[in-house]
Amino acid sequence: MNKALVVLCSVAYLALLFGIAGWIERRKLSGKSIPGKNMIYPLSLAVYCTGWTYYGSVGHASLHGMQFLSIYLGPLICCALFVPVIQKILRICRTQRINSVADFISTRYGKNFSLGVIVTLCYIFGVIPYIALQLKAISDSFHVITGMPGYARAAFWHDDSFYITILLALFVIVFGTRKVDVLERHEGLVGAIAFESVIKLVAFLIAGGFITYGIFGGFKDLFAKANAAGLQHLFIMDQQASGYSTWMSMILVSMMAVVLLPRQFQVLIVENKQERQLRRAIWLFPLYLFAINIFVMPIAVGGILTFGSNAGADTFVISLPMHYGMSALSLLVYIGGFSAATGMIMVETIALATMVSNHLILPPLLSFRNSSGNKKPLTRTVLMARRGSIIFIFVLAFGYDKLIAPYFSLVSIGLISMAAVTQLAPAMIGGLYWKNASRKGAIFGILTGFIIWFYTLILPSVVNAGLMDKSITQLGPWGIGWLRPQALFGLNDLELLPHSVFWSLFFNVLSYAGVSIYSRLNAQEVYTAEIFTGIFTHTATNERRAIWKGSADMKDVVAMVANFIGQERAENLINAYALRHRILVNQEDADPRMVSFAERILSGVIGSASARFMISSITKEEDIGIDEVLSIVRESQQVLELNKELKKKSIELTRATDLLTTANRQLLEMDGMKDEFLNTVTHELRTPLTSIRALSEILYDNPEMEEEQRVHYLDGIIKETERLTRLITEVLNLERYESGRQKLRLGAVDIASLIQQVIEALKPLAKEQGAALELSMPNAMFIVQCDAEMIYQVLYNLISNALKFVPAANGRVHVILREAYTELQIWVEDNGRGIDPEIHELIFDKFFQARNQTLQKPVGSGLGLAICKRIIEMHEGRIWVESEKGKGARFAFSLPVN
Amino acid sequence: MQKILVVDDDPYILMSLEFLMKKAGYEVMIARDGTEALELINNRKPALILLDIMMPDVDGYAICAYVKESPKLKDIKIVFISAKTKEADIEKGIRLGASRYISKPFSTRDVMQQVKELLN
């Protein structure tokens, strides 16, 4: 294809990206919303798929089969399982205004300078090759599509990738360093990235579709042909152990890389605007990964079948359409790959540049300015530092691409990078959850891991490329066999990657944990550890906390911030904070909380270590001892504890109040019951008195009354007097029982004989009622410990009641003595009207029949059964009734026997 | 001859009041509970009722209210005779439309006197 056409298309595409980014930023400024903005965040995550995905995967698949999938399984696992971790990181970065991994780790371990430097250097070593890989992918694809051979060692100004590099650098500088954003967001850039994610997916799908369905007859056809050609080994996982270990290590490093690669951290964490954007991304991103990988294997297989070998498999995705004369398609694919590569380059560079400028360039620059007393605005300085870093990175990448990359395959470069950033994982993850992790531990861990990474991965590759003497891999350094870089300590079953990952992580974690356990934390470390690990519990209190002691002039603080982000924005932010926390802005002495806030703003711009430095330069600080830090930290913990205690106490209080209310109610009820009782008693006393008086008066006033009638009236007077007497006696009796004054006089009582006594005494009444009175009992002697008089009374009550209840004719009362396990039961059965089951319980209440006279009024008061109940209860027995309406009643009580 | 209805669940009190009213020259009907009372009120419309309050099924208050709310019966004079002697009880009785409220134990002479006053 015509070279000019390809170049034109490339430039046009970049212009399109420019346009989109610019359009987005203009719309943001004018306050309008962007269509499809909910998709931007999830799609931007797809910057994970770079030229490696486009070209490297196919190449890898053609050699190692399905193994290429493993670097997508890592992100999948991350999305499925580790969202809480990501959420924690998100929260921390937002509240602490952290804009890079270097800043994260540096801040976490006490806002430490050296950590920031170390991490940034690690990234440069680890990620520059990855950027170079993209440049290589672009030039490789360029050469395939234009049909021109690569200029491996020509002068660089003849090299087309040089010009593309320059163009890209320009793009990045323009859209990445427009202004100094406090939160480091680049909306236009991210929008452009989302767009290019779509482009690269579409292009790959079209190409894949064409190859699978256009050139071949679909998946089945392709794989059948592959089997026929003896390519089955590509479709199964490697049988040997080394195959599994490579899979595992690839999955592991890709799991770390999807968060820790600078571009990933940038789009995932820094560019995140709202935590809930994560929700959509969790399923959309894996979906994207799945879609873009569908056709990888078909393309690989199709290429091998078409070209007869897997040489040049990396660029099958372009060479295949070209082979079949589909130049438009191959141009589209080229643009797709170009898109993938440039997307990666842009974001990675910005992220890397932020770290380089904040942790390598600015610190010495700022301290120099400070000491030289330069007070000019720093906004420009910061931007210049950024731009300088970007150019620096591009230069490095370009150089690496031209000098070193030709010796490595695309995929291995990518994996090497991922293994490098994995060395930061222990310090990062440990920092999230382990309060005792120390700065020293982190430094040791990262350095150890990095060194071993370099030794076991970079060194052998360099040797294999022929740039170094072979003796170190064959015999080991200084001839020490078990220190050989590809078989450390005798572990020689593993391939290069798993071997390196294993040893580097092993020693990394070992030194990280080991040193942390034995090192003491300083005040700052305790503070930052507390914030990071407890971010979800402390988020609310974080803003209010002032872990800073000293004095500062408010004017100076505002000026310092304005220095970096401009006067207007500084004032807006500070005033907003003051409003939220009710701090007076006008006073001379800056509120410590305000100083902390200012420091946080600055760290968003220049990194926390530099921010710390700058703030301390304008304030008179007092050393805040570790005890103070601990006490402040403990204070907030105490507040939380107190809150919990308070809640508990308040619940207890409520419970106690409820109990009191219930008890009160019960007392009132009893009071009411007492009143009711008294009312009923007086009523019951009045009734017979009324009869007596009325009958007496009539007798007195009517001496001429007939004899029969006189006798009847006199009889009435006598009976009512008796009734009155009985009533009074029973009331007094009951009172005695109720007040507990009645004492049990226990004795050995022959129950059978007692019952017989009662029956004898009631024979006259039985005869009067015309009822039969019977007794059944077993042929044995029952001696029970009880109060004979009381039990006599109970028996008398029950049997006389029964006699009054029986029908006029064929009335029958049957008394039964029964033995039942641990008690003696006495039953009094009658064949009277029966008692409604609803009132079985109630009839033992005092005066039941007075209140609710559903029973026919017998000659007695309502107290009888109540007294019986008290007596039986005092004997620890039970008394109850079984009955139904119309079917007689069976009263029973029990006395326990030992 | 004017009809008087005596309602009380105690047999001796019922007997006494019946004797008294008969002696005073009235035609006497007796009822042992509210149900009987209502039947007699509706069928035989007495001129005056001597009414106990505490009764098993329908209490005296209810009967009084029934009578006083019925256009046909509201002229019947009601005299409560009850052992309930609290202020509130008496007030309630008067409010419901009773002409007199007599407490138990009562004086027979007093009852006769009050009835005579009401019916003449």
Q: Which residue of B has its CA nearest to A716?
A: B12
- What is the number of CB-based contacts under 8 A between chain A and chain B? 60
Specify whether the CB–CB gap between A628 and A523 falls below 8 A: yes
Q: Which of A376, A410, A444 is the last residue of a domain?
A: A410
Residue A56 above 80 pLDDT?
A: yes
Assigned domain for A116 exists: yes
The predicted model scores a pTM of 0.61
- Together in a domain, A842 and A725: no
Assigned domain for A416 exists: no
Q: Give every CB contact of residue A806 below 8 A, 6+ residues apart in sequence.
A: A769, A771, A812, A813, A830, A831, A832
Q: What is the DSSP string of A601-639?
A: HHHHHH-HHHHHHHHHHHSEE----HHHHHHHHHHHHHH
Q: Which of A736, A765, A798 is the last residue of a domain?
A: A736
Provide the pLDDT confidence category of residue A375 given band limits of 50, 70 and 90: low
Instruction: Indicate yes or no: CB of B13 within 8 angstroms of CB of A687.
Output: yes
Specify whether the CB–CB gap between A593 and A544 falls below 8 A: yes
Domain total of chain A: 5
Range of the domain at A558: 543-624
Residue A148 above 60 pLDDT?
A: yes
Residues from A contacting B (CB-CB < 8 Å) are 682-683, 686-687, 689-695, 697-698, 701-702, 713, 716, 720, 853-854, 857
Domains defined along chain B, listed by start: 3-119 (3.40.50.2300)
Specify the CATH number for the domain of residue A213. Answer: 1.20.1730.10
Instruction: Indicate yes or no: CB of B9 within 8 angstroms of CB of A701.
Output: no
Instruction: Indicate yes or no: CB of A854 within 8 angstroms of CB of B84.
Output: no
Q: Give every CB contact of residue A65 below 8 A, 6+ residues apart in sequence.
A: A233, A234, A235, A236, A237, A238
The highest-confidence range among A163-172, A271-280, A350-359, A508-517, by mean pLDDT, is: A508-517
- Together in a domain, A20 and A55: yes
Residue A363, preceding bond cis, omega within 30 degrees? no
Instruction: Indicate yes or no: CB of B109 within 8 angstroms of CB of A695.
Output: no
CB contact B94 to A (< 8 Å): no
Q: Which residue of A has its CA nearest to B33?
A: A853
Question: Rounded CA gap, A649 and A221, in Å?
Answer: 74
Q: Which residues pair with A816 in a beta bridge?
A: A776, A827
**Which residues on B lie below 8 Å from A856 (Cβ)?**
none
- Together in a domain, A505 and A460: yes
Assigned domain for A259 exists: yes
Among candidates A398, A321, A342, A401, which has minimal Cα distance to A145? A321
Among candidates A351, A362, A387, A512, which has minimal Cα distance to A439? A512
Q: How far apart are the first and last CA of chain B?
A: 12
CB contact B104 to A (< 8 Å): yes
- Together in a domain, A181 and A223: yes
Nearest CB among A686, A697, A702 relative to B104 is that of A686
How far, rounded to the nearest angstrom, does the alpha carbon of residue B114 sit from its chain's CA centroid?
A: 12
CB contact B10 to A (< 8 Å): yes
Q: DSSP character for A589? A: B
A491: tokens are 């572990």
Rounded mean pLDDT of B15-44? 92
Least confident of A70-74, A475-479, A834-838, B116-120: A475-479
Instruction: Indicate yes or no: CB of B106 within 8 angstroms of CB of A694.
Output: yes
Provide the pLDDT confidence category of residue A162 given band limits of 50, 70 and 90: confident
Q: Angle CA(A619)–CA(A95)–CA(A25) in degrees, nearest 5?
A: 105
Least confident of A114-123, A664-673, A757-766: A664-673
- As a dihedral over the C-alpha atoms of residue A228, residue A229, residue A235, residue A239, rounded to 10 degrees, the angle is 110
Mutation site for A-interface testing, chosen from B6, B13, B22, B23 by largest number of A Cβ within 10 Å: B13
Instruction: Report pLDDT digits (tens) over A823-867.
Output: 899 999 988 888 878 878 878 877 665 444 444 444 345 678 888
Residue B74's pLDDT is: 86
Q: How far apart are the first and last CA of chain A?
A: 114
CB contact B17 to A (< 8 Å): yes
Residue A430's pLDDT is: 92
**Which residues on A lie below 8 Å from B84 (Cβ)?**
683
Among candidates A125, A113, A141, A151, which has minimal Cα distance to A52? A141
Where are the extended beta strands (E) located within A642-690? Answer: none
Instruction: Indicate yes or no: CB of A694 within 8 angstroms of CB of B109.
Output: no
Instruction: Indicate yes or no: CB of B13 within 8 angstroms of CB of A683.
Output: no
Specify whether the CB–CB gap between A382 and A180 falls below 8 A: yes
C-alpha to C-alpha distances, A564 to A247, A444, A569, nearest whole angstrom: 47, 33, 10
Residue A551's pLDDT is: 75
**Which residues on B lie below 8 Å from A686 (Cβ)?**
83, 85, 104-105
C-alpha to C-alpha distances, A307 to A28, A326, A679, nearest whole angstrom: 50, 16, 114
Mutation site for A-interface testing, chosen from B108, B109, B112 by largest number of A Cβ within 10 Å: B108
Rounded mean pLDDT of A159-167? 75
Among candidates A378, A142, A421, A395, which has minimal Cα distance to A264? A421
- Together in a domain, A769 and A682: no
- Together in a domain, A156 and A57: yes
Rounded mean pLDDT of A250-264? 92
Assigned domain for A524 exists: yes
How many other C-beta atoms lie within 10 A of the C-beta of residue A624? 16
Mutation site for B-interface testing, chosen from A675, A678, A697 by largest number of B Cβ within 10 Å: A697
Mutation site for A-interface testing, chosen from B12, B16, B52, B81 by largest number of A Cβ within 10 Å: B12
Specify the CATH number for the domain of residue A718. Answer: 1.10.287.130
Q: Which residues pair with A786 in a beta bridge?
A: A747
Among candidates A283, A273, A113, A267, which has minimal Cα distance to A190? A267
Instruction: Report pLDDT digits (tens) over A439-469.
Output: 999 999 999 999 999 888 888 777 776 666 7
Specify the CATH number for the domain of residue A806. Answer: 3.30.565.10
The highest-confidence range among A254-263, A356-365, A724-733, by mean pLDDT, is: A254-263
- Together in a domain, A517 and A504: yes
Specify whether the CB–CB gap between B84 and A683 falls below 8 A: yes
Specify whether the CB–CB gap between A96 and A107 falls below 8 A: yes
Angle subtended by helix axes A113-146 and A316-323, to nearest 10: 10
Q: Give every CB contact of residue B62 below 8 A, 6+ residues apart in sequence.
A: B34
Q: Which residue of A has its CA nearest to B56?
A: A853
How far, rounded to the nearest angstrom, does the alpha carbon of residue A271 sit from its chain's CA centroid?
A: 23
Among candidates A135, A171, A122, A117, which has minimal Cα distance to A399? A135
Instruction: Indicate yes or no: CB of B56 within 8 angstroms of CB of A691.
Output: no
Residue A53's pLDDT is: 85
Rounded mean pLDDT of B31-50? 91
Residue B80 above 90 pLDDT?
A: yes
Q: Which residue of A has its CA nearest to B81?
A: A690
Q: Which residue of B has its CA nearest to A713?
A: B12
Whole-number percent of chain A with pLDDT over 70: 86
Q: Which residue of A has its CA nearest to B84?
A: A683
A468: tokens are 């170094």
Instruction: Report pLDDT digits (tens) over A294-332.
Output: 888 888 888 888 887 767 777 888 888 888 888 888 888
A396: tokens are 């490095």
- Together in a domain, A40 and A64: yes
- Together in a domain, A22 and A150: yes
Provide the pLDDT confidence category of residue A151 given band limits of 50, 70 and 90: low
Rounded mean pLDDT of A541-555? 64
Question: Rounded CA gap, A215 and A802, in Å?
Answer: 108
**Which residues on B lie below 8 Å from A689 (Cβ)?**
104-105
- Together in a domain, A81 and A166: yes
Among candidates A809, A826, A815, which has minimal Cα distance to A773? A815
3-class SS at B83?
A: coil
Provide the pLDDT confidence category of residue A153 given band limits of 50, 70 and 90: very low
Nearest CB among A683, A692, A702 relative to B54 is that of A683
Provide the pLDDT confidence category of residue A561 given band limits of 50, 70 and 90: confident
For residue A815, the surrounding DSSP H or E stretch is strand A811-820
Residue A667's pLDDT is: 85
Question: Rounded CA gap, A1 and A330, in Å?
Answer: 10
Q: Exposure of A305 by Cβ count < 10 A (0-12 exposed, 13-18 middle, 19+ buried)?
A: middle
Provide the pLDDT confidence category of residue A104 given band limits of 50, 70 and 90: very high
Question: Rounded CA gap, A521 and A625, in Å?
Answer: 11
Question: Rounded CA gap, A496 and A477, in Å?
Answer: 17
Residue A377 above 70 pLDDT?
A: no
A370: tokens are 């400070």
Q: Which residues pair with A825 in a beta bridge?
A: A818, A894
- Write a three-state SS string for A729-786: HHHHHHHHHHCCCCCCCCEEEEHHHHHHHHHHHHHHHHHHHCEEEEEECCCCCCEEEE
Rounded mean pLDDT of B50-61? 87
Instruction: Indicate yes or no: CB of B54 within 8 angstroms of CB of A689.
Output: no
* Cβ within 8 Å of A, B 40-59: 54-56
The highest-confidence range among A1-5, A237-241, A848-852, by mean pLDDT, is: A1-5
User: B20 to chain A nearest CA, in Å?
Assistant: 8
A478 Ramachandran zone, left/alpha/beta (phi>0; psi -120 to 50): left
**Which residues on B lie below 8 Å from A716 (Cβ)?**
12, 15
Assigned domain for A194 exists: yes
The residue written with tokens 């007599």 in the block is B102
Rounded mean pLDDT of A371-400? 79
Provide the pLDDT confidence category of residue B41 given band limits of 50, 70 and 90: very high
Question: Rounded CA gap, A646 and A655, in Å?
Answer: 14
Provide the residue type at A335 as one letter.
I
Provide the residue type at A5 as one letter.
L
Assigned domain for A216 exists: yes
Residue A158 above 70 pLDDT?
A: no
**Which residues on A lie below 8 Å from B85 (Cβ)?**
686
Question: Rounded CA gap, A610 and A612, in Å?
Answer: 5
- Together in a domain, A104 and A134: yes
Question: Rounded CA gap, A576 and A681, in Å?
Answer: 78
How far, rounded to the nearest angstrom, does the alpha carbon of residue A474 sit from its chain's CA centroid?
A: 51
- Together in a domain, A726 and A765: no
**Alpha helices per DSSP H over A308-326:** 316-323
Q: Which of A521, A542, A563 is the last residue of a domain?
A: A542
**Which residues on B lie below 8 Å from A695 (Cβ)?**
12, 15-16
Q: Reduced to 3 DSSP states, what percent helix, strand and coil does chain B have, rounded to the nearest 5?
A: 45, 20, 35
Instruction: Report pLDDT digits (tens) over A422-432.
Output: 999 999 999 99
Assigned domain for A196 exists: yes
Residue A727's pLDDT is: 85
**A828 φ, ψ to 5°?**
-125, 110
Assigned domain for A12 exists: yes
**Which residues on A lie below 8 Å from B53 (Cβ)?**
none
Q: Which residue of B has its CA nearest to A849?
A: B56
